[in-house]
Amino acid sequence: MKAYLLYEAGGPDKLVLGGTKRPALQSGEVLVKVKAISINPADAIYRNSPAFIAHIFGQEWPVILGWDIAGEVVEKAENTAGFEVGDAVFALLQKARGYAEFVAVNTELLANKPNNITFEEAAAAPMAGLTAWQPLVHGMTIKTGNQIFIHGASGGVGHYAVQIAKYLGAQVIATSSAKNRNFVLSLGADKHIDYQTENFWEVMSDVDFVFDTIGGETLEHSIDVIKSGGTIISIIPMTDERLKAKAQEKNVNLSLWGLQVNGDDLRAFADLMAKGILKSYLTKTYPFAEMAAAHTQIETRRTVGKIALIV
C-alpha cells in the first residue's frame, strides 16, 4: 500500500510517499481503507521530534504518522461486532499510522461516519474535536447562561469549542484576529474580541469558565478575568509555577488537559454531527500528494478551522 514514511525526524520534506505492507489485523480490529485524513499541530510537532517519535514507535523506523482518519471498513478480524465491511467510519488513532491507504483500527475507537458529512469533514474532527469536547464536557460544569471565554476560537480546536459551548447553553466570548471575526461569530459566539488590538483583561471580568488554547501571557491574563470559584482549563503545558499560585490566590481552578483517545467521546461527538449541531469547517482540502504543503500550512499556526487530505 502507499503511505507516507518518515525515515528521520525533520521538516515537511522528510515525509516520503512510498510503499509498505498493509497492516495485519489483531483480534478486535478492522481494516479501514482510508479516504481522508486531517492534520493537526501535533502532526508537525511529532514529525520534528525524535523523542516524541520514540515515545510512540520505540526504535521502529521508518514510521507512519497521522492520527485522524475516515474511511471504509474492508476487512474484519474476530471480536469486531457492531461494524461490518462497507461501513463508513472515522477514528482517532492511538498510535498514529494514519498517513496510509489502509490502517488497522480497534473497534473501541471507531465511530460511524454520519451520512450528512463528507469523509474529509469526519476526518477533521477526532483530535481537535475531542480536545475541545473533553475539557468542556468532562472538565467543566457548564450550565445554561454561564459565560465561557474561548481563546483561539478560529483554530482547529477553538472552532469546535465555540460550537460545543453553545450546545451546552453557554454565553460565549471568543478571541481571534480581526480577519477571522465573522467566522468566529458564524460559529455562534456571542461576543468577539480581537486579541491583537484589544487587551481582553481590560474589557471583561467575572467569567465562569476559560478555555485556553494559547498559553503563556494569554493564560496569565485569563486569571484576571475569571470569577472566584471559576474554572480555567488550558491545553497548553504550563511551565510557569507563578500561574498556579496566582490562580490559587484568586480561588480559581486551573488545570492542564491532555487529550485522551476515547471512542465513547468520539461517538457522542458523531451523534451531534449527525444532528447538524457540530460541524467541521475545512479551510482547505489537499490531494494526498501534497502532504508537505499541508504540514507547512499547519505550522503557520494561522489555519482557520481545519485542513484535510483526500487519500
Ligand X SMILES: NC(=O)c1ccc[n+]([C@@H]2O[C@H](COP(=O)([O-])OP(=O)(O)OC[C@H]3O[C@@H](n4cnc5c(N)ncnc54)[C@H](OP(=O)(O)O)[C@@H]3O)[C@@H](O)[C@H]2O)c1
Chain positions contacting ligand X, by CB under 6 A: 40-42, 127-128, 131, 151-152, 154-158, 175-177, 180, 195, 213-214, 218, 235-236, 257-259, 298, 301-304
Closest CB to ligand X among residues 116, 199:
199
CB of 71 or CB of 158, closer to ligand X: 158
Closest residue by beta carbon to ligand X = 155
Smallest gap from residue 26 Cβ to ligand X (A): 26
- The minimum distance between CB 128 and ligand X, in angstroms, equals 5
Instruction: List the grid coordinates of 32.
Output: 479501514
Minimum CB separation of residue 302 from ligand X in Å reads 4
Tell me whether residue 26 or residue 186 sits nearer to ligand X (CB atom).
Answer: 186
**What is the DSSP code string of 16-32?**
EEEE-PPPPPPTTEEEE
| 3-state secondary structure at position 262 | coil
| Burial 278-296, CB ≥16 within 10 A → b, else e | bbbbbbebbebeebbebbe
How far is residue 81 from each of residues 78, 88, 102, 141, 224, measured CA to CA in Å? 8, 15, 20, 34, 51
Q: Which residues contact 55 (CB under 8 A, 6 or more apart)?
A: none
The residue (of 43 and 208) whose beta carbon lies closer to ligand X is 43
Q: Secondary structure of the chain: what % helix, strand, coil (to 5)?
A: 35, 30, 35
Q: How far is the CB of 84 from ligand X (least distance, A)?
A: 31
Q: What is the DSSP string of 154-177?
A: TSHHHHHHHHHHHHTT-EEEEEE-
CB of 33 to ligand X, least distance (A): 26
Nearer to ligand X, 151 or 166 (CB): 151
CA atoms within 13 A on the CB side of 43: 35
| Three-state DSSP state, 283 | strand
- Shortest Å distance, C-beta 68 to ligand X: 11
Q: Given the complex with ligand X, which of 90 and 195 has the nearer CB atom?
A: 195
